[in-house]
Amino acid sequence: MIANADAIMPITHRPQTVFVSGEGSYLIDQDGERYLDFIQGWAVNTLGHCNKQLVAAIRQQAGQLIHAGPGFYNQPMLDLAALLSANSLFDHVFFANSGAEANEGAIKLARKWGQLHKDGAHKIITFVDGFHGRTLATMSASGKTGWNGLFEPKTPGFVKVPYNDLSATMDAIDSDTVAIMLELIQGEAGVIPATEQFLQNLQSLKQRHNLLLIVDEVQTGIARTGKLFCYQHYDIEPDIMTLGKGLGGGMPISALLAKQAASCFASGEQGGTFNGNPLATAAGQAVLSAVLAPGFIHEINRLSQILTTELTRLADKHQLGEVRGKGLLLALNTGSYHADAVVEEAMRNRLLLNAPRPHTLRFMPALNIKADEIQQMLTVLDQIFTHLRD
């Protein structure tokens, strides 16, 4: 039994170990065991554990200014907002603390825009199996099947349609519809990409019906998919984007970004005590600078190709299913093998993997993982499938 574990609210099953430190692609527990980490805090540790540049930026900022309050400018907040805006098609940035909070902001912004510009239209079309967070409104926007009937009543105003289904989306649009909100790759659903055609059609629908397009890039943003933002893979022009997970490289920070025309909060309508605090924004600045350094994103795509090719080879060898995803957000269908059994066996072999679905493994390593660490993971995974088969 882990000491003091009974003081923790039991909201999930956790392995019987305590992690005490981290180093690049490795997480180290209280017994000094080193685990090769392909979860990285849930696609959060963009630069791996305790990256030197990131740690230096946090240390420096902690000694200078940790928090001044949301009613004042601070330098890292200004600089990170400018950097995000300069590298995207969005004009304004609002910082928050979690993906769910950024998405709440996106929902509020869309409703405000509907009040100002679309006769009070407020309904937002979202997608089956989509995931937008765990607050009441973002749970209501999400399409996780297990959540039906949970914490009722849900927040009204969300119409859910099947992902990649154009005619269902068209049928769902009426005069009360203000926005379409989606993940470009459904992460928690098991790394399910939107098709290029579907996104193209959403872009046309948005123009025809005067709707806002909201992309939830909490998981796909900050180069996770091999471009700085996932929307840049497609010929689409979202009005609103949310970021979270990888933005702070492990520090809790998220962001709501909007084009000028959609950025319609009046003074006092949006805020939050910790939002834009210099410690978190300095971390975001360090992460973004590293990701924007020449060659960094190119290397993500090279590593992605290696991982994709080798996973496909493994799938052929062990008669597994498809490999899907982009960049370093990849999934492997485990075929007849239970993904949870693979995850447990991997943990015993000091490898941390994630199974978002009963037959899906998800790979979300540090974006600066080394090629030999990928090979190491593949060797262990190969052994696990051989062992599970026998």
Q: How far is the CB of 98 from ligand PLP (least distance, A)?
A: 4
Please identify, using beta-carbon distances, which residue of 127 and 337 lies nearer to ligand PLP: 127
Nearer to ligand PLP, 104 or 345 (CB): 104
245 belongs to the catalytic site: yes
Q: Near ligand PLP by CB under 6 A, which window of 92-100, 109-117, 170-178, 341-349?
A: 92-100
Q: Which of 129, 216, 239, 345 binds ligand PLP (CB under 6 A)?
A: 216
Q: Is 284 in the site for ligand PLP (CB under 6 A)?
A: no
Site for ligand PLP in 301-360 (CB under 6 A): none
CB of 21 to ligand PLP, least distance (A): 23
Closest by Cα among 35, 25, 45, 48 to 372 = 25
Min dist. Cβ of residue 132 to ligand PLP (A): 5
Least distance to ligand PLP, CB of residue 250, Å: 12
Which CB, 217 or 373, lies closer to ligand PLP?
A: 217
Residue 187 is a binding residue for ligand PLP (CB under 6 A) = yes
Identified binder of ligand PLP from the candidate list 129, 183, 310, 345, rule CB under 6 A: 183
**Which residue of the set 112, 123, 245, 326 is catalytic?**
245
The site map against ligand PLP for 154-173 (x = CB under 6 A) is --------------------
* Options 182, 202, 218, 262; binder of ligand PLP; rule CB under 6 A: 218
In whole angstroms, how close is the CB of 249 to ligand PLP at the nearest point?
14
Determine, following the binding rule CB under 6 A, whether residue 99 of this chain makes contact with ligand PLP. yes
Q: Does 219 bind ligand PLP (CB under 6 A)?
A: yes
216 is catalytic: yes
Nearer to ligand PLP, 218 or 315 (CB): 218
Tell whether residue 94 is a contact of ligand PLP (CB under 6 A).
no
Angle made by CA atoms 96, 89, 229, in degrees to the nearest 5: 65
Taking alpha carbons only, the member of 217, 175, 197, 188 closest to residue 129 is 188
> 37 or 216: whose CB is closer to ligand PLP?
216
Stretch that binds ligand PLP, among 166-174, 216-224, 334-342, 373-381 (CB under 6 A): 216-224
Q: Which of 216, 227, 229, 326 is catalytic?
A: 216
Mapping DSSP onto H, E and C, the string for the chain reads CCCCHHHCCCCCCCCCCCEEEEEECEEEECCCCEEEECCHHHHCCCCCECCHHHHHHHHHHHHHCCCCCCCCCCHHHHHHHHHHHHCCCCCEEEEECCHHHHHHHHHHHHHHHHHHHCCCCCEEEEECCCCCCCCHHHHHHCCCHHHCCCCCCCCCCEEEECCCCHHHHHHHCCCCEEEEEECCEECCCCCEECCHHHHHHHHHHHHHHCCEEEEECCCCCCCCCCCCCHHHHCCCCCCEEEECHHHHECECCEEEEECHHHCCCCCCCCCCCCCCCHHHHHHHHHHHHHHHCCCHHHHHHHHHHHHHHHHHHHHHHCCCCCEEEECCEEEEECCCCCHHHHHHHHHHCCEECEEEECCEEEECCCCCCCHHHHHHHHHHHHHHHHHHHC
Q: Is the dihedral of CA 150, 339, 218, 326 positive or negative?
A: negative
Positions 103 through 142 that interact with ligand PLP (CB under 6 A): 103, 131-133
Active-site entry in 38, 94, 131, 363: 131
* Whole-number Å distance between alpha carbons of 378 and 350: 13
Active site residues: 131, 216, 245
Which residues lie near ligand PLP (CB under 6 A)?
98-100, 103, 131-133, 183, 187-188, 216, 218-219, 244-245
